[in-house]
């Protein structure tokens, strides 16, 4: 009997080996000083109170954390006026997105996300053997009409990053409500509001209200962006009671570390620290957009802490060439090939020095 047709080692479930690896932003470049603007991290870091709370757990490492994250859930609930029982915490919102897909998607199911949507969604969908259905975008913005056209009886989940990464565009709340109204009651709408704190628009809502008034909407949030705690891995989901119950059954019993919970409670308590970061972002979002446009570059209008910058698709001023030039000057932006945007680079809004360094290096590059 030939062994050739038989597997020679254990194989994962169908679909898993088709997943492309998620490639994080680079962190190395040439130059004495490195400006890392590739992963939407906060130039302000974390609140000193959060850092102190984290450090305070250093001599308690032998003890298991509170598996139900009570103190953290109560701090989040108090901050946003929510019911703590409807909050589930995770090791980053990525874990919660994965858990949601794990709980609600199986082979034969479909899940919808938009063309330039966050790349964690296709990974979460394919890991559970479901089919990813990609809705086209219009002007690098989610199109509710195109998303609804992708929905059928097999659609179990719809993922919407609002604002979206990497485009920086957002859907006004009435559009989110229109999307929700067009979904079957059995389809779970996941609103990923990782950048909600940065948005300064009257017609934007993160989704708290929609979760509270529906049975099929979940909102995820993170401590990785405005709170500057990306290294700790901390996020939360606000869910209908029946979804919270499902997530609590399948999550790891101690999925959030004691130090992360302590830092999260302190970070939520230090809103003054966040206000500085919000004001800085608003100022530089506008300034950088203007200055890059003045260099002749197209910039997608963003409400997040990053900008999608468009370069020529041929010739000697392309995005890969700009990237190489910036790397030579110690500046790291994010290449966008994985998102199907090879002519773009994504820039995180940095501190003033980093922002000025990018504009000046790009001005030289485009000369
Ligand atoms: C950064 C980001 C997250 C946050 O991921 P964490 O796992 O919480 O660090 C979630 N969604 C989007 C769209 C993001 O850009």
Distance 93 CA to ligand 1 centre (A): 6
Q: Which residue, judged by its Cα, is nearest atom 11 of ligand 1?
A: 194
If you measure from the C-alpha of residue 108 to the centroid of ligand 1, how many angstroms do you get, rounded to a whole number?
27
- Note the pLDDT of residue 4: 55
Closest atom, ligand 1, to C-alpha of 39: 1
CA distance 133 to 297: 32
- CA atoms of 78 and 171, how far apart (whole Å): 27
- Distance in angstroms (rounded) separating the CA atoms of residues 259 and 60: 9
pLDDT at residue 30, rounded to an integer:
67
The pLDDT value given to residue 297: 98
Which residue minimizes the CA distance to atom 3 of ligand 1? 194
Q: Which residues line ligand 1 (CB under 6 A)?
A: 40, 92-94, 118, 161, 165, 192, 194, 222, 224-225, 230, 235
Cα(222) to centroid(ligand 1), Å: 7
How many of the other CB atoms lie within 10 Å of CB of 276?
11
Closest CA to 307 of 280, 285, 338: 285
CA-224 nearest atom, ligand 1: 9
Which protein residue's CA is at the shortest distance from atom 14 of ligand 1?
Answer: 194
Contact predicate 104/155, CB 8 Å:
no
Residue of 23, 91, 116, 118 to test ligand 1 pocket, by largest number of atoms within 8 Å of CB: 118
Specify the 3-state DSSP secondary structure of 160. strand
For residue 120, give the nearest of 190, 43, 28, 198 by alpha carbon.
190
The C-alpha atoms of residue 198 and residue 111 are separated, in whole angstroms, by: 27
Which of 39, 41, 93, 228 has most ligand 1 atoms within 8 Å of its beta carbon, as the pocket-test mutant?
A: 93
Q: What pTM, to 2 d.p., does this model score?
A: 0.95
Question: What does DSSP assign to residue 21?
Answer: P
pLDDT in tens, the chain (367 residues): 455 567 788 888 888 888 888 888 777 766 678 999 999 999 999 999 999 999 999 999 999 999 999 999 999 999 999 999 999 999 999 999 999 999 999 999 999 999 999 999 999 999 999 999 999 999 999 999 999 999 999 999 999 999 999 999 999 999 999 999 999 999 999 999 999 999 999 999 999 999 999 999 999 999 999 999 999 999 999 999 999 999 999 999 999 999 999 999 999 999 999 999 999 999 999 999 999 999 999 999 999 999 999 999 999 999 999 999 999 999 999 999 999 999 999 999 999 999 999 999 999 999 9
> Could you tell me the distance, in angstroms and rounded to a whole number, from the CA of residue 11 to the centre of ligand 1?
29
User: Which pLDDT score, from 0 to 100, does residue 23 have?
Assistant: 81
Dihedral sign, Cα of residue 165, residue 168, residue 171, residue 172:
positive
Among protein residues, the one whose CA lies closest to atom 15 of ligand 1: 165
- CA dihedral (133, 136, 137, 140) positive or negative: positive
DSSP single-letter state for residue 356: H
Structural domains of the chain sorted by starting position, each given as residue range(s) with its CATH number in brackets: 16-45+272-365 (3.90.1150.10), 48-269 (3.40.640.10)
Q: How far is the CA of 2 from the centre of ligand 1 (A)?
A: 47
Residue 15 exposed, middle or buried by CB count within 10 Å (0-12, 13-18, 19+): middle
pLDDT at 26: 78
Q: For position 295, what pLDDT does the model report?
A: 98
How many A from CA of 94 to the centre of ligand 1?
6
The rounded distance, in Å, linking the Cα atoms of 309 and 307 is 6
pLDDT given for residue 2 in this prediction: 52
pLDDT score, position 21:
87
Spatial separation of the C-alpha atoms in residues 246 and 243, rounded to whole Å:
5
User: What is the bridge-based pairing of β-strands 344-348 and 334-335?
Assistant: antiparallel
C-alpha 225 to ligand 1 mean position (Å):
8
Residues 52 and 266: beta-carbon distance below 8 Å: yes
Cβ neighbours of residue 118 closer than 8 Å, sequence gap 6 or more: 159, 161, 164, 165, 192
């Amino acid at each position: 009997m030939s062994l050739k047709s038989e597997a020679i080692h254990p194989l994962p479930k169908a679909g898993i080996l088709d997943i492309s690896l998620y490639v994080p932003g680079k962190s190395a470049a040439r130059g004495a000083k490195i400006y890392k603007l590739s992963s939407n991290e906060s130039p302000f870091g974390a609140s000193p109170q959060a850092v102190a709370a984290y450090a305070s757990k250093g001599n308690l490492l032998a003890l298991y954390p509170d598996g139900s994250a009570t103190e953290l859930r109560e701090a989040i609930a108090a901050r946003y006026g929510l019911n703590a029982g409807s909050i589930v915490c995770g090791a980053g919102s990525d874990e919660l997105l994965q858990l949601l897909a794990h709980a609600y998607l199986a082979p034969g199911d479909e899940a919808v996300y938009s063309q330039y949507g966050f790349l964690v969604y296709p990974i979460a969908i394919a890991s559970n053997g479901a089919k990813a259905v990609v809705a086209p975008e219009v002007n690098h913005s989610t199109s509710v009409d195109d998303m609804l056209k992708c929905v059928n009886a097999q659609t179990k989940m719809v993922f919407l990053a609002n604002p979206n990464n990497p485009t920086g565009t957002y859907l006004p709340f009435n559009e989110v409500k229109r999307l929700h109204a067009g979904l079957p009651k059995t389809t779970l709408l996941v609103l990923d509001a990782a950048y909600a704190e940065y948005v300064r628009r009257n017609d934007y809502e993160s989704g708290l209200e929609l979760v509270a008034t529906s049975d099929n909407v979940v909102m995820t949030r993170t401590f990785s962006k405005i709170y500057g705690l990306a290294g700790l891995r901390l996020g939360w989901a606000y869910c209908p009671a029946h979804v919270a119950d499902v997530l609590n059954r399948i999550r790891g019993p101690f999925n959030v570390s004691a130090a992360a919970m302590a830092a999260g409670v302190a970070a939520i308590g230090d809103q003054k620290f966040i206000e500085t970061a919000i004001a800085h972002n608003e100022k530089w979002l506008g300034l950088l957009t203007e200055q890059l446009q003045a260099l002749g570059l197209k910039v997608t209008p963003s409400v997040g802490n990053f900008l999608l910058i468009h370069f020529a698709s041929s010739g000697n001023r392309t995005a890969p060439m700009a990237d190489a030039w910036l790397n030579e000057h110690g500046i790291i932006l994010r290449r966008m090939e994985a998102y199907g945007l090879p002519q773009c680079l994504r820039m995180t809004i940095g501190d003033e020095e980093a922002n000025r360094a990018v504009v000046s290096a790009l001005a030289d590059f485009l000369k």
